[in-house]
Each structure stands twice: as C-alpha cells, then as structure tokens.
A and B are shown apart, each in its own frame.
Chain A
Amino acid sequence: MKQISFITLLFFVVSCTNEKNKTGNISSNFSFASSTVNIHTFKNEFGIEGYYTGYFEASQYDEKKDVMYTNKITISIDSLSETVCYGHSIVAGNMRPFKGTYAKSDDNIFKVNAKEPGDDKYDGAFTFEINANAKKIKGNWKSNDQNLAVTEREYELELRTFVYNPDLELPEYLTYEGLYGTYKETDTSSIAESLTDDIFKYNASKVLLKTKDVENMYQADLEVLRNSIYARHGYSFKNRKMRFLFDHAVEWYMPVSINITKSLTPIEKQNIELLKRYEQHAVKYYDSFGR
C-alpha cells in the first residue's frame, strides 16, 4: 500500500513539475521536504544524527572545465531506521536529500551507501563511514553525470552543532584574502580587489546601520558586511565570491540552509536593505561618468 501511494505521489509530482522544477529541491521520493526545511532538529536515537561540516574536495575533475576545487559542505544525518539512513547535504547553495543503506560494525562505525534523488544535474552517490566515537565522517561522493567539471570528491567532516549567534565576528585576517574571481591568473598586472578594515567596523547582525555608516564604503566591503549576516544564519552561498571567502576564511561558518529569509531579525532585514541599496549604487555608478 505504501508503495502504491508512493508511486502515485511520485507520478503526480513528476508530471506537475516536469517543466519548471529542474533545479528545485523538492524530491518526492524522499521523505524529506528540503525546500521548507531550514535548521534541522535531530532526534538522537542512534548516536550519530547531526550536522557534519568540513571540506568537500575535488579528487576527479576536468581541468579544462570550470572547477571549484574545494567547497565547505555540511552533511546532515537526519534519521535512521534499522536499515536505512536518511540525510541531506548542503553545499554551494544546493541542498539535496540522500537516502541509503547502512551497516554498523562492532567498533561503532556506520558504513553508509546513499544516493541523491537523481533529478538534479549535480546529484550523485555518497559512500562514507561515520565514526560514532570520533564523531567524524569520512568518505567520497561520485556524480551521476560524468561530464561535470568535478565527478568525484572526498571529505572528512566533523560533527558540529549549528546555533545562530549574532555575536560571531569576521576574522581579522579576512582583509588579506583576495576576493575570488576579481583577478585573473593570466593577467599578472591586475591587483585583486581586496577588503578594508571597514568590514570590522560594524556587526550588521547587531547594530542598526545608518546612511552615514555605509555611504563612504567600498562595494566589496558592503557586500561582505551584508553576506556576513547570511553566514551567521548558516546560509549556503551560491555566489562564488562569497562562498569562497566564507568557506575558506571564516572558521565558524557552516552551511546548513539555502533559505534563511524567515530567520532574519528585524535589524538584519533593515541592514540588508540599506547595504544592498549602496552596493547596487556602487556597482552602477561608482566608476561611471554620471548618475
């Protein structure tokens, strides 16, 4: 009976969303409504449920293509039944559910073989071991599509709890980071766009910013200030420049969500609006003749 309703549901969803939902995250054949899931609440029944965060590193890739070598990933072990492990991953602005079988060994290691739904271009299969004692995950991921820039990735992740904390500050060495995509390796004469100390002046999650606070700031600083709000909420960045920065240079940052609009505080919402306004103005008019 369950099977039948499941198939009908699948058919229904597929026939409805065939056209538009190519990159969406609704996967009917998984007991997982990822588009509405924000921060997951875990029931700790098997001792391994939770968020595991770390680097998702390319091990098989086509150099000629646009390769993003390392992204920060969170693998969430959502729940387990006696034979099946349910979870989802959040990486590069993409939240995908997975489901697979597992086997538990005597030394408290869970070996998981899981698959993503397969209806997304970047879906694939996860093979990993969860070490319940060390609270770590180690494994690999293989893409379904062999024509992708990266077809295989490896990772070692650590169990980490996500808590929204407005007090988190950007690390001091952030200003030394060149912003991704702002310089080309072939063009040695150009200097990477860099950040200034302005990004430490205000915590945009705590202080309500005023016009005079932001009007003299460079676009890059404004952008980082705004995105630091998203980062505190565990937003997984699609935007490469921001992803590269927060993934690599902000230790506390962990991607857990792809939609955080509902969790923003009133101060953050107002700051985002103000910062965005000045960013857009800077992009359009900073180095132009007129406005």
Chain B
Amino acid sequence: MKTTTHKITLLNTLLLFTYFGFVILMMGIVLQYIPAGTDTAFLGIKQDYINIQWYLPAFYIHVFTAILALPAGFTQFSKYIQKYFKPFHRINGRIYVFSILVLGAPSGFIIGLYANGGLSSQLAFCILAVLWWWFTLQAYTNARKKNFVAHKIWMYRSFALTLSAITLRAWKWTLIEIFHPRPMDVYMIVAWLGWGLNLVIAEIIIYKKIKK
C-alpha cells in the first residue's frame, strides 16, 4: 500500500505546531475581551467610534466568532481526513463557512469602515472582508456542486485571508522589532501586507499544485 499522500512530513509537523502556537496566541487575544467592555484593549484607542450604533456589536461579533475559522487549519487540508472522515470534514467546513459568511466577514467589514489609519487602512480592511466573504462563498458553492478542484482553489484563497488574523499581527511585531516605526504607520502597512502577501502565496500554491 502506498502511503505517500498521507505521509506526515517533518515540515508539516513543524508548520502544524507553529500554527498551533499562533492559534493559542489568538485565543489569548480573544480571552482578554471577557468580560466585554467598552474600554478593553484595542477599544482603548477606539473611543471616538464606540458610540456609533453598529460599532461595538460588530466588534464583539468579530472578536468572538472570527476565531471559529481558525481550527479549520488543523483538519481541513488533511487528505487523510478528507478521505476517511468525510462527515467530519463537512461539519467542520460548515462551521468555517458559516462563521465567515454570516459573522466574521460582515462584522469585519463594519469595523473596517472605522479602521485606524485613515482611508488606506479602511480600504484594506473592507476589501479584505469582501474578498474573504466572496472566496468562502465560492468555495462553499463549488463544494455543493461537487467541483472539488474549484473548491480546493477557492479554499486556498479563503484560508489565506483567514490566516491574515495571524500574519497581520506577526508582520506588525516583526516590523516594529526591526524598524521601530510609528504606531499608525506600521498599522497602515500591515493592513495591506497582512493579507496581500498571503494571497500571493496562495496563488503560487494553487499554480504549483493544481494548475500545472
């Protein structure tokens, strides 16, 4: 029996562990918003906006539900699970799709309208939200139509944007460690870099794995 497709490589393991570490960090970020306040963490510098009707509900929906998309990274790309645990793949996939289409992306769009750093970052976060929603929808409808190659392609794109929650923060940390930039300057940079580069990498993966 050939097991090459199910082989767990060292690189994969390493990536999974790194991802696990970042997911834990992300959970820590979410947990600091319990109990929910109007002054907690990020909201400390959003005081001009918290009185806008939609802002706080959207913010908290985003904080508490967008994270539901992250566990997909552990399971959904595994060919083994795709093959032998189909119902699991489907249930987990539905959680992912629902959390993004109904909660994470729309709430992200609303808070994106009030992003720090002016028009540039507002555009960055709103485009991110729209693309995230669109890619995920495409991935879902293609799965329903059993177009699994297209499903896979769109999922690479969708997950690339899901990952921006982590890469945006990682880039911010890295740039600050190296260049010590001003807080809002770095924010405007990572607002684009956080997901733009992910999308480029996703397209490269798609090209190499599927389209060749």
**A binding-site residues for B, Cβ under 8 Å:** 211, 215-218, 277-278, 280-282, 284-291
B183 touches A291 (CB 8 A): no
With a cutoff of 8 Å between Cβ atoms, the chain B residues found around residue A217 in the complex are 182-183
Cβ contact within 8 Å between A290 and B45: no
Q: Which chain B residue has the least Cβ–Cβ distance from A287? A: B176
Alpha-carbon gap, A286 to B26, bound state (A): 16
| A282, B45: Cα distance in complex, Å | 10
Could you tell me if B29 and A286 are in contact, using CB atoms closer than 8 angstroms? no
Residue among B26, B44, B116, B169 with the most chain A CB within 10 A? B44
Would A291 and B116 count as touching, CB distance under 8 A?
Answer: no
Given contact pairs A215-B45, A281-B44, A289 touches B183 in the complex (Cβ within 8 A): no
Q: Which residue of A lies closest to B182 (CB)?
A: A216
Which of A217, A218, A291 has the largest count of B CB atoms less than 10 A from its CB?
A291
Q: Are B184 and A277 in contact (CB under 8 A)?
A: no
Pair B182/A290 contact, Cβ less than 8 Å: no
Interface string of B25-58 (1 = CB under 8 A from A): 1101100000000000110110110000000000
Residues of A close to B47: CB separation below 8 A? 211, 277
Check A289 against B44 for contact (C-beta < 8 Å): no
Q: How many A-B residue pairs have CB under 8 A?
A: 45
Given contacts A211-B47, A287-B173, list 18 more A-B pairs with CB under 8 A.
A211-B45, A215-B116, A215-B184, A216-B182, A216-B183, A216-B184, A218-B182, A278-B45, A281-B45, A282-B183, A286-B176, A287-B177, A288-B173, A289-B25, A289-B173, A290-B25, A291-B29, A291-B41
Q: Which residues of A contact B177 (CB under 8 A)?
A: 287
Q: 7 shortest A-B CB distances, which residue pairs?
A: A216-B184, A290-B29, A291-B42, A216-B182, A291-B41, A281-B44, A289-B169
Residues of A contacting B41 in the complex (Cβ-Cβ under 8 angstroms): 284-285, 291
* A216, A281, A282, A288, most chain B CB atoms within 10 A: A216
- Interface size for B (C-beta < 8 A) is 21
User: Of A285, A287, A289, which one neighbours B170 at CB under 8 angstroms?
Assistant: A289
Residue from A277, A281, A289 with most neighbouring chain B CB atoms (10 Å): A289
CB distance from B178 to the nearest CB of A (A): 11
A-B contact pairs, 28 of them (CB 8 A): A211-B48, A215-B45, A215-B184, A216-B182, A216-B183, A216-B184, A217-B182, A217-B183, A218-B182, A277-B44, A277-B45, A277-B47, A278-B45, A284-B41, A285-B42, A286-B176, A287-B173, A287-B176, A288-B173, A289-B169, A289-B170, A289-B172, A289-B173, A290-B25, A290-B28, A290-B29, A291-B41, A291-B42
CA distance A286 to B179 in the complex (A): 13
| A287 and B176 alpha carbons, distance in the complex (Å) | 6
**Taking CB as reference atom, which chain A residue is nearest B176?**
A287
Give the chain B neighbours of A282 by CB distance below 8 A.
183
- Measured CA separation A285–B176 after assembly (Å): 11
- Hey, which chain A residues are within 8 Å of B116, CB to CB? 215
Nearest B-chain residue to A285, judged by Cβ:
B41
Looking at the assembled complex, report how far the CB atom of B177 sits from the nearest CB atom of chain A, in whole angstroms: 7
Q: Kindly provide the distance from the CB of A288 to the nearest chain B CB, expressed in whole angstroms.
A: 7
A288 to B26, CA, bound (A): 12
Between A215, A288, A290, the greatest number of chain B beta carbons within 10 A of the residue's beta carbon is seen for A290
Given A278-B45, A281-B45, A290-B185 contact (CB < 8 Å): no
Look across to chain A and name the residue whose beta carbon is closest to the beta carbon of B185.
Answer: A216
CB under 8 Å from chain A, chain B span 148-205: 169-170, 172-173, 176-177, 182-185
Q: How far is the CA of A286 from the CA of B184 in the complex (A)?
A: 10
